[in-house]
């Protein structure tokens, strides 16, 4: 397997509304240093793949409005490696888009599709799983997804059931996908032992995924297959015509859950989909009362199990709360029970209805 045939497509067009009010429409979470590491999530993701394929083979798909921020944070990224989404249409259109672009560039391309906002704690194990997946898809007409051994019955993740009797080396054939089950069902999955969390990181050969697109997303596939200007100055204009015709659908629902040709590699590289304030809390250092605190001028008095973030120039005094999210920005203060964090998207919608987009 030649490294020059390996490509990465990083999806970085989301809004990250569950990280509101830190994440905003004009500066979403992938460009934020959520955990105070000194690097944004997109910077960590970009660096993670530099050891896996040539720098010129790393592409980032993002919204047109975010391109200046992306260039500022990744100055080494070529303009040719930035794909602009004219509108937000979920992950299927951007996946079909990058697939046909790379097919025109290299008909033997092996592609890694990765979100921009995941935490990976063991880069060496991650690289091994990705390289093994690339090798597998280069030799077999299959789609590969990375699965994470679940540590709790989390209802915020999708689950993958795999066939323990159908394996090849370290990979197993997938039996079913289940998207965000109930707590009771998630507990059943954990007990069964043959379920993994769906990490949303996919690996495939360009020709294999196009076959699946023709089968399960034929209209969308045809739209992008008919574009003749890939990797030319006219590409952007033609994509702006195609995108409004696409349905809003995820690649998980559009293809992965329907395909009979999916394999999974059980992975143990320390993974977190940093999608909510609770996930940030889980991955943060905490004081002796279990508070995760970001901000030099935060004072905790008789409070516990809280996720707290405040600007450096503001004094925040917190007393008497247990199990709360407290996020203070220049113009918004959010105080929310941690066990109700999944409703933050609803609060954002309510703010939009009552206050417009000013605070979003």
DSSP 182-215: -HHHHHHHHHHS-EEEEEEEEEEEHHHHHHHHHH
Position 341 confidence tier, pLDDT thresholds 50, 70, 90:
confident
Cα separation, 80 vs 177, in Å, equals 35
Reported as a pLDDT band with limits 50, 70 and 90, residue 48 is very high
* pLDDT confidence bin for 182, thresholds 50/70/90: confident
> Of 273, 304, 329, which one is at a domain's C-terminal end?
273
Q: Look at residue 137 in the predicted model and tell me its pLDDT.
A: 95
pLDDT confidence bin for 50, thresholds 50/70/90: confident
CA 294 – CA 88 distance, rounded (Å): 31
**Amino acid 180: pLDDT:** 80
Angle at 22 between CA 359 and CA 358, to 5 degrees: 10
Average pLDDT value over all residues in the chain: 91
pLDDT in tens, 79-90: 999 999 988 888
- The pLDDT of 47-60, averaged and rounded, is 91
Out of 273, 308, 340, a domain closes at: 273
Question: What angle, 0 to 180 degrees and rounded to 10, lies between the N-to-C axes of helices 91-105 and 206-216?
Answer: 140
Claim to verify: residue 190 and residue 56 sit in the same structural domain: yes
- Return left, alpha or beta for 270; rule: phi > 0 is left, psi -120 to 50 is alpha, else beta: left
Please write the tens of the pLDDT for every residue from 150-167. 888 887 788 999 988 877
Mean pLDDT of the region 17-45:
90
DSSP of 273-324? E--SHHHHHHTS---TTS-EEESTTEEEES-BS-EEE--TT--EEEES-BSE
Q: Would you say residue 128 has pLDDT above 60?
A: yes
CA-CA distance, 241 to 14, in Å (whole number)?
Answer: 21
Q: Are both 150 and 74 inside the same structural domain? A: yes
The predicted pLDDT at position 214 comes to: 97
Say which CATH number the domain at 128 has: 3.90.550.10
Rounded to an integer, the average pLDDT of 121-137 is 94
Residue 63 domain flag: yes
**pLDDT of the residue at 1:** 55
Same domain, 122 and 240: yes
pLDDT (mean) for 242-263: 92
**Same domain assignment for residues 185 and 40:** yes
Q: Show which of 273, 289, 308 is a domain's final residue.
A: 273
pLDDT of the residue at 2: 63
In a domain, 360, yes or no: no
R_g (Cα) of the chain, nearest Å: 21
Asked if residue 341 belongs to a domain, the reply is yes
Q: Are residues 25 and 100 both part of a single domain?
A: yes
> DSSP E strands: which ranges in 70-124?
82-85, 110-115, 118-120
Which pair of structure tokens corresponds to residue 346?
Answer: 């609803």
Q: Dump pLDDT digits (tens) for 136-147.
A: 999 999 999 999
Split at pLDDT 50, 70, 90, the class of 67 is very high
Regarding predicted confidence, which is higher, 86 or 217? 217
The helix (H) or strand (E) run that includes residue 246 is none
Residue 331 lies in a domain: yes
**182 and 286: one domain?**
no
Question: What is the structure's pLDDT at 178?
Answer: 84
Contact 10, 116 (CB under 8 A): yes
- My answer on whether 220 and 156 are in the same domain is yes
Specify the pLDDT at position 241: 94
Compute the distance between CA of residue 186 and CA of residue 156 in angstroms, rounded to an integer. Answer: 10
| CA–CA dist 123, 167 (Å, integer) | 25
* 7 shares a domain with 108: yes
Residue 88: its pLDDT value, please? 85
pLDDT of 203 higher than 80: yes
205 within some domain = yes
Nearest to 31 by CA among 274, 209, 294, 240: 274
Q: What is the C-alpha to C-alpha distance for residues 108 and 332, in angstroms, rounded to an integer?
A: 49
- Domain boundaries, position 11: 3-273
Specify whether 110 is located in the same domain as 210.
Answer: yes
Same domain for 269 and 287? no
Q: Is the dihedral of CA 34, 16, 342, 114 positive or negative?
A: negative
In this structure, the answer to whether residues 290 and 327 fall within a common structural domain is: yes
Task: Please state the pTM of the whole predicted model.
Answer: 0.91
Same domain, 135 and 244: yes
Task: Check whether 3 has a pLDDT greater than 80.
Answer: no
Residue 171: pLDDT band (50, 70, 90) is: very high
Counting the structural domains of the chain, the total is: 2
Tens digit of each residue's pLDDT (9 = 90 or more) over 104-120? 999 999 999 999 988 89
């Amino acid at each position: 397997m030649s490294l020059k045939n390996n490509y990465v497509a990083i999806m970085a067009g989301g809004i990250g509304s569950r990280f509101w009010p830190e994440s905003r429409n004009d500066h979403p979470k992938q460009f934020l240093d959520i955990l105070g590491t000194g690097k944004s999530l997109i910077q960590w993701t970009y660096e993670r793949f530099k050891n896996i394929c040539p720098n010129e083979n790393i592409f980032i798909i993002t919204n047109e409005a975010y391109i200046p921020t992306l260039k500022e944070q990744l100055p080494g990224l070529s303009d040719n490696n930035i794909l602009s989404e004219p509108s937000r249409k979920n992950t299927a259109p951007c996946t079909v888009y990058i697939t046909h672009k790379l097919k025109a560039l290299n008909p033997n391309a092996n592609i890694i599709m990765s979100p921009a906002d995941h935490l990976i704690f063991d880069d060496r194990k991650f690289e091994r799983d990705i390289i093994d997946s690339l090798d597998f898809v280069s030799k077999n007409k299959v789609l590969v997804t990375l699965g994470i051994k679940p540590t709790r019955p989390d209802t915020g993740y999708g689950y993958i059931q795999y066939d323990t009797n159908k394996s090849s080396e370290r990979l197993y054939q997938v039996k079913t996908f289940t998207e965000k089950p109930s707590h009771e069902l998630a507990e059943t999955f954990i007990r069964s032992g043959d379920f993994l969390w769906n990490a949303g990181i996919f690996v495939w050969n360009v020709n294999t995924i196009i076959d699946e697109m023709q089968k399960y997303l034929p209209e969308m596939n045809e739209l992008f297959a008919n574009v003749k200007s890939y990797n030319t100055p006219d590409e952007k204009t033609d994509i702006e015509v195609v995108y409004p015709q696409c349905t809003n659908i995820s690649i998980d629902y559009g293809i992965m859950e329907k395909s009979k040709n999916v394999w999974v590699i059980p992975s143990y590289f320390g993974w977190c989909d940093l999608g909510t304030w609770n996930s940030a809390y889980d991955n943060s250092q905490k004081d002796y009362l279990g508070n995760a605190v970001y901000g030099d001028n935060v004072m905790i008095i008789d409070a516990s199990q809280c996720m707290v973030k405040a600007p450096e120039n503001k004094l925040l005094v917190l007393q008497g709360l247990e199990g709360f999210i407290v996020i203070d920005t220049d113009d918004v203060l959010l105080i929310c029970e941690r066990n109700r964090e999944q409703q933050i998207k609803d609060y954002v919608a309510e703010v939009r209805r009552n206050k417009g987009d000013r605070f979003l």
